[in-house]
Structure 1
Amino acid sequence: MAISLFVAKESNWSLFKEDTKSFPVKGVQVSQEDGYIDWQGIESNQVSFAYIKATEGSNYTDDQFAINWERIQGTSLRRGASHYFSFDSPGATQGIHFNQVVSTQKDDLPPVVIVELYDQYKQNPPKKESVVKELKDFIQVVMDEKGQNLILCVDANVYQKFIKNEFVKSDIWFVDTKNKPSKEEKIPWKFWEYTEEGELSKGNIKQQSLDFVVFNGNKSQFEKFGQ
């Protein structure tokens, strides 16, 4: 019996171990908070891809993005860039900022835009009409530049509030660190982020609390994804 090279804390480990054969394509998500990234070490853990945080809002750039974006090219990992969406600035200007920071190549994965309720918006969510408009503006600006449709990273709450029936052409990166996505939720997810507290066990890996992600498909489908 094969032993998974992934270790996740508490219940997430047993959850992933049970389902690992169903999701052969595994990935991680990183940002400056993870410090120096040993990309060769990550690659040795049978990881196929990595998403690297690039930008947030209209002005912020992740301090480690440029070096991570360059150094990952020394591996076989497919790379993708992510943007943290702000409700406090226009979507179009956020898209312009992302395009200025991120230079893509043919084999890169489609960009991800992370949409979550933060700070005061946890208690007082913004109006749906405003979020949908600004998010569509962001997507259009980035699509016009990069030529790829974007992936929306959301949890069930954000999906139901803002995304459902509004972004039918966008793939979904579903965040649920407690349960496997169920058919009852009827969320057509392409990626599943199942833990934010994962550790990699092989190689010179020092990072703690990495985000672990799986692709909903086989390796052949993943190779074609985003092309």
Structure 2
Amino acid sequence: MSRRTALWTTSAVVAVLAVLGLLVANGVVWPNRILAARYDVRGVDVAHYQGQIDWDVLAAQDLDFAWIKATEGASHTDPRFAENWAAATRTDLLVGAYHFMSFESSGADQAAQLAAEVPATPGTLPPVIDLEFYGSYFQNHPTPDEVHAILDPLVAGIEEHYGAAPIVYATEEAYDLYLAGRYPDLPVWIRSVAWAPGLSDGREWTVWQYSNRDRLPGYDGVEPYIDMNVFAGTRAELEALTQD
């Protein structure tokens, strides 16, 4: 191969990789969509970042479920939760609420915050505890003992108030640090947007967040993307998790 040919080949490869990277960054190409396509039951999770949501339009996008951000820590309520909850529960979607767990307030106080904002409504999905890193905790992870001291009473408070075990959402790193080998009765919602998930302790996941770069009609917020998820089962099996 001549030097000129080698340069052209290298330039072409770099150009293709750059275009591919741009397509991935903008959600046009997302390899996990192929892997997730084998699951029939799919849904979204949303927060105020998606802005005003037309739930009738969103629900028509071949979706089965939606979890809506409700609370965070011991005092914060998502400003669009009440609006989203009222509108989403009027659709055919299976709907639930999620709580973003803080490492800076007690589990009992966080459970009380969730209970104050999210009604225990028959037919809705169980609450979700969102366990992931934020702010300075990305670099300085709390210890397992610190996290369990918050998570244990949070789980207990949710079970007592709603009569159902919560689902725990976690990144793969958070799962390995805090959940692996523990909480066997709690369904796991795993975030794995780069590849298909495989939990380190051999446990089966219940919900998989496979993309954070999808775009769907029906919302107009500052966040152009929406998270996509699949359920490891049938819609009837997901309905079986709803509150009595």
Common fold by TM > 0.5? yes
Q: Does residue 1:135 correspond to 2:142, yes or no?
A: no
Give the match's secondary structure for 1:182.
coil
**Number of residue equivalences:** 216
In structure 2, what is the Cα distance between the partners aligned to 1:161 and 1:33? 28
Question: What TM-score does the superposition give when structure 2 sets the normalisation length?
Answer: 0.83
Asked if structure 2 preserves the Cα contact closer than 8 Å seen for 1:132 and 1:166, the reply is: no
Q: Does residue 1:15 correspond to 2:8, yes or no?
A: no
Identity of aligned residues (%): 28
- The structure 2 residue matched to 1:54, chosen from 70, 73, 87, is 70
RMSD in angstroms over aligned alpha carbons?
A: 1.8
1:127 Cα deviation after fit: 1.5
**Residue number in structure 1 paired with 2:192:** 176
In structure 2, what is the Cα distance between the partners aligned to 1:16 and 1:103? 33
| Consecutive unaligned residues in structure 1, runs of 5 or more | 1-7
Asked if structure 2 preserves the Cα contact closer than 8 Å seen for 1:43 and 1:75, the reply is: yes
In structure 2, what is the Cα distance between the partners aligned to 1:90 and 1:73? 30
Q: 1:19 to 1:82 in 2, by over 3 A?
A: closer
Deviations 1:35-68 (A, max 9, x none): 0011111111110110000000000000000011
In structure 1, what is the Cα distance between the partners aligned to 2:228 and 2:58? 11
**Residue number in structure 2 paired with 1:200:** 216
Question: What TM-score does the superposition give when structure 1 sets the normalisation length?
Answer: 0.89
| 1:57 counterpart letter in structure 2 | G
Segment of structure 1 superposing worse, 71-80 or 179-188:
179-188
Runs of 4+ in structure 1 deviating by more than 3 angstroms, as ranges, are: 182-185, 204-207
Asked if structure 1 preserves the Cα contact closer than 8 Å seen for 2:126 and 2:167, the reply is: yes
Deviations 1:158-179 (A, max 9, x none): 1110111221110000001100
Q: Does residue 1:121 correspond to 2:137, yes or no?
A: yes
1:223 Cα deviation after fit: 2.3
**Residue number in structure 2 paired with 1:27:** 43
1:185 Cα deviation after fit: 6.4
In structure 2, what is the Cα distance between the partners aligned to 1:194 and 1:78? 19
Higher-Rg member (1/2): 2
1:193 Cα deviation after fit: 0.4
Q: Does residue 1:223 correspond to 2:242, yes or no?
A: no
- The structure 2 residue matched to 1:111, chosen from 118, 121, 127, is 127
Q: 1:183 to 1:118 in 2, by over 3 A?
A: closer
